[in-house]
């Protein structure tokens, strides 16, 4: 299983590399057209994609570090490196988001607004289509390899596609004697950047502080209770090592059972959690009842 996990991380790198290439190309295009066509919203969208480059590079580094085997200083491996990288990326994104908000708000309250050239709208439409295709690819790949990090990247791809659509709406609206709509859309883009950054930070900090989905824990418990020989579950905990789940569980068995029989039951519990729920590692403690 461990070898397959490392192979999945390598596949995840492919999805992140596609995102990085797309962000480099699209952010350059948006910034060039945004400045030439005088579109604050498109420039803000371009800066948004620029932060996504940094975030994607951080995730890529995290994926590579996560593949390092366990050593003396990291006896459990380096699985959490991807989560740490995501948190660093969120800090970078929030700074850029605030910068975009600051510039956009100043533009909204400026005395004069000039409607941007319509080519900026066509640029936004093209970029939205490209990002939606990248989102579909990364979403399917993340489900295939069960990668939380890549799924988060896919959701970021989708949000970028939606941001580009919002940018187009603002640009088109500015053509109808509503030039203030373009910088106002830039404000919304800045808020979306900040929201995405806070969401990434929240998820990363939740993982790093050993937070875990309570619904999953309940499903693990139900599965264990359905196993022959298990009379009860005294305690169950779970935590994440990167994309890998580790479960600690205390089960109750008949006090008249021999050591071998109790061991067989605990082995069955380990196997069913790994096969049915994809748990990476299980620690079972048996107590008599």
Task: Judge if 121 and 38 occupy the same domain.
Answer: yes
Task: Judge if 43 and 164 occupy the same domain.
Answer: yes
Closest CA to 100 of 174, 48, 52: 48
* pLDDT tens readout for residues 23-53: 999 999 999 998 888 887 788 888 878 888 8
Residue ending a domain, choose from 208, 236, 262: 208
Q: Tell me the two tokens of residue 229.
A: 């020989």
CATH number for the domain that contains residue 175: 1.20.1510.10
User: How many separate domains does the chain show?
Assistant: 2
Q: How high is the pLDDT of residue 2?
A: 57
* pLDDT tens readout for residues 62-95: 878 887 887 888 887 787 887 887 788 788 878 8
Q: Which segments of the chain have a pLDDT < 70?
A: 1-9, 110-115, 148, 182
Q: How high is the pLDDT of residue 133?
A: 95
Task: Judge if 118 and 173 occupy the same domain.
Answer: yes
Note down the domain range covering 258: 214-288
Q: How would you classify the pairing of strands 244-253 and 232-241? A: antiparallel
Task: Judge if 27 and 155 occupy the same domain.
Answer: yes
Q: How high is the pLDDT of residue 235?
A: 93
Q: How high is the pLDDT of residue 111?
A: 57
Task: Judge if 195 and 91 occupy the same domain.
Answer: yes
Question: Which residues are within 8 A (CB) of 220 and not within 5 positions of it... i.e. 6 or more apart?
Answer: 236, 238, 247, 249, 273, 277, 279
Question: Which residues are within 8 A (CB) of 195 and not within 5 positions of it... i.e. 6 or more apart?
Answer: none
CATH number for the domain that contains residue 222: 3.30.70.1350
150 within 8 A of 15, measured Cβ to Cβ: yes
Which pTM was predicted?
0.75
> Cα angle vertex 120, ends 114, 122, to 5°?
140
Task: Judge if 158 and 241 occupy the same domain.
Answer: no
Residue ending a domain, choose from 161, 179, 208: 208
Q: How high is the pLDDT of residue 4?
A: 64
Task: Judge if 18 and 121 occupy the same domain.
Answer: yes
Task: Judge if 39 and 55 occupy the same domain.
Answer: yes
Q: How high is the pLDDT of residue 53?
A: 86
Reduced to 3 states (helix: H, G, I; strand: E, B; else coil), residue 178 is coil
Task: Judge if 184 and 220 occupy the same domain.
Answer: no
Element (H, E) at 234: strand 232-241
Q: How far apart are CA 145 and CA 75, in angstroms?
A: 24
Task: Judge if 238 and 198 occupy the same domain.
Answer: no
Q: How far apart are CA 47 and CA 177, in angstroms?
A: 26
Task: Judge if 256 and 113 occupy the same domain.
Answer: no
Q: How high is the pLDDT of residue 282?
A: 93
Q: How high is the pLDDT of residue 24?
A: 94
105 within 8 A of 156, measured Cβ to Cβ: no
55 within 8 A of 82, measured Cβ to Cβ: no
How many other CB atoms are there within 10 angstroms of residue 69's CB atom?
Answer: 9
Residue ending a domain, choose from 168, 193, 208: 208
Q: How high is the pLDDT of residue 113?
A: 58
């Amino acid at each position: 299983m461990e070898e397959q996990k490392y192979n999945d991380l390598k596949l995840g790198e492919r999805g992140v590399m596609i995102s990085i290439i797309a962000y480099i190309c699209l952010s350059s295009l948006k910034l060039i057209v945004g400045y030439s066509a005088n579109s604050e919203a498109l420039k803000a969208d371009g800066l948004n994609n620029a932060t996504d480059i940094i975030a994607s590079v951080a995730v890529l580094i995290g994926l590579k570090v996560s593949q390092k085997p366990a050593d003396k200083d990291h006896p459990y491996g380096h699985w959490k490196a991807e989560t740490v990288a995501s948190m660093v990326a969120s800090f970078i994104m929030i700074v850029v988001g605030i910068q975009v908000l600051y510039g956009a708000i100043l533009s909204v309250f400026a005395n004069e607004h000039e409607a941007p050239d319509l080519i900026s709208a066509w640029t936004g439409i093209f970029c939205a289509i490209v990002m939606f295709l990248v989102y579909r690819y990364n979403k399917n790949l993340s489900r295939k390899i069960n990668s939380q990090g890549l799924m988060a990247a896919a959701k970021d791809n989708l949000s970028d596609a939606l941001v580009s659509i919002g940018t187009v709406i603002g640009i088109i609206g500015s053509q109808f004697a509503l030039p203030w709509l373009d910088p106002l859309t830039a404000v919304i883009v800045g808020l979306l950047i900040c929201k995405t950054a806070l969401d990434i930070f929240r998820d990363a900090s939740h993982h790093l502080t050993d937070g875990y989905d309570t619904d999953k824990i309940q499903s693990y418990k139900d599965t264990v209770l359905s196993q022959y020989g298990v009379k009860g579950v005294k305690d169950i905990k779970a935590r994440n090592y990167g994309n890998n789940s580790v479960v600690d569980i205390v089960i109750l068995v008949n006090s008249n059972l021999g050591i071998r029989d109790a061991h067989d039951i605990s082995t069955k519990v380990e196997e069913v959690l790994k096969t049915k729920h994809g748990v990476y590692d299980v620690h079972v403690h048996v107590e008599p009842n």
